[in-house]
Amino acid sequence: MKMTNRVVEITKGIEKVISSLKMVGTELVPLENALGRILAKDLYAKYPLPNFDNSAMDGYGVSIIDVGKKVKIWKRVLAGDSVGDEVLPMGTCIKIMTGAKVPNGVNSIIPFEDVEESGDDWIQIPNSVKPNNHIRKMGEDISVGEKIVEKGEKLSAYSLGLFASQGISFIEVFRKPRVVVFATGKELKMHFENIEPHQIYNTNSPMILDRSREFGAEISLFRISGDSKVEIKKAIKNSLSYDLIVTSGGVSVGEADFTHESFSEMGMETIFSGVHIKPGKPTTFGKIGDVAVLNLPGNPSAGLINFEIFGRIAISQISGIRAKHIGIVECEILENLKVKSGKNTVVLGYFDGSVFKPLKKRSPGMVKPLHEANGFIILDKSVSEIKSGSFVRFISTKFDWSSEFQKELLTY
């Protein structure tokens, strides 16, 4: 067993998590089940898009050599009609609908409203008509051999549209990371159980489980009824088939906190044993073989904030996602903020799309601030005061940028 017993800076901790973890294996899934999965290999186009020249408008298909002339309507072409190798006869035009294949000889489309049709199926082509008007050219969107979706991308509805455009029914993706969560402490009861006056409900495990699921993991919960090393080590042994073990509680120096000791006795390599962050300094990260272990503080805000950083990074690295780092939004802070310098300090708050407003109540042991906030900022240990209007770096915990009231959508 290798022990480092190091307290690390936040960015160094992130680097250590990423460098110590491997990606999971791959599997094939139907296109219909691939939303939100991580692509395991690049997608190259087999077919152009569009795969033939087609009309972008309902109108008349004409030859540019007939500009300024009167031509006869030859036929009508609808989307889905086969035109084969037919060539537009000289001195004629066609009626063509949006999406229909453009026949040979047609090299410009005139919208219906720009032409007056005479009753004898003749039209006058305006002198203003230019080549390739309103024609979507074959391959102008996607060319054959072009890389259109990259390995490591999280598949959206729009990226799946690209797979559909190539006639692909099954997609190779990375397997979902398997995350198991358990909390130590005989004082903890689940939400569906009755509690005694000296007991509390387990709030951390449901939050960690659901955030893990939002990060793309498959989740399980192992319950531990007490604070004995025997029970904790049994839970650890039963968790070694997972990719990431997350515990909440038992990482401080309390007399009955056996979690870290139990993991060490099970062969955990401790990669870091604390983080320069407030709240959540006791956060510990390590590995048992290829299984990642994240020990979080038991205080809800402290534990979940550190899970937002290190749990998110661990799941992202294991999942194979390319954009694994935590994104930030630079914005102004709405009011003056004072903190005690000397520690990197997390401040929960709400970003409304324009400014960040810190929460008034944000004690490490509280649960409600996690609900009220939609993210947080981290102040450097040198900072003791931030003035209203200063720019801060906001980290989101809720990826929905919806607003209670509709703001102006247009950019002027």
pLDDT in tens, 222-251: 877 666 788 889 889 999 999 999 998 765
Cα–Cα distance measured from residue 164 to residue 162, given in angstroms and rounded to the nearest whole number: 5
> How confident is the model over 331-389, as pLDDT tens digits?
999 999 999 999 999 999 999 989 999 999 989 999 999 999 999 999 999 999 999 99
Residue-level pLDDT at 112? 95
Pairing of strands 345-351, 355-358: antiparallel
Beta bridge partners of 247: 182, 295
Q: Which two tokens stand for residue 278?
A: 């407030």
Cα–Cα distance measured from residue 296 to residue 304, given in angstroms and rounded to the nearest whole number: 8
**Alpha-carbon Rg for the chain in angstroms:** 30
Residue-level pLDDT at 405? 72
Tell the residue number behind the tokens 């649960």, with chain if given. Answer: 367
Q: CB-based contacts of 224: which residues, under 8 Å, 6+ apart?
A: 182, 183, 184, 185, 231, 232, 235
Q: Which helix (H) or strand (E) holds 70?
A: strand 70-77
Other Cβ atoms closer than 10 A to 237: 10
Q: In degrees to the nearest 10, what's the CA dihedral of 62, 66, 69, 74?
A: -40
pLDDT beneath 70: ranges in the chain: 1-5, 225-227, 250-257, 400-404, 406, 409-411
Residue-level pLDDT at 275? 97
For the chain, how far is it from start to end, CA to CA, in angstroms? 61
The domains of the chain, with CATH numbers, are 7-24+175-319 (3.40.980.10), 27-48+147-174 (3.90.105.10), 54-136 (2.170.190.11), 329-396 (2.40.340.10)
Confirm if 280 and 376 have CB atoms less than 8 A apart.
no
Residue-level pLDDT at 257? 66
Beta strands of 217-328 (E only): which ranges? 218-221, 244-248, 269-272, 274-275, 284-288, 291-296
Q: Is 164 exposed, middle or buried (0-12, 13-18, 19+ CB in 10 A)?
A: exposed
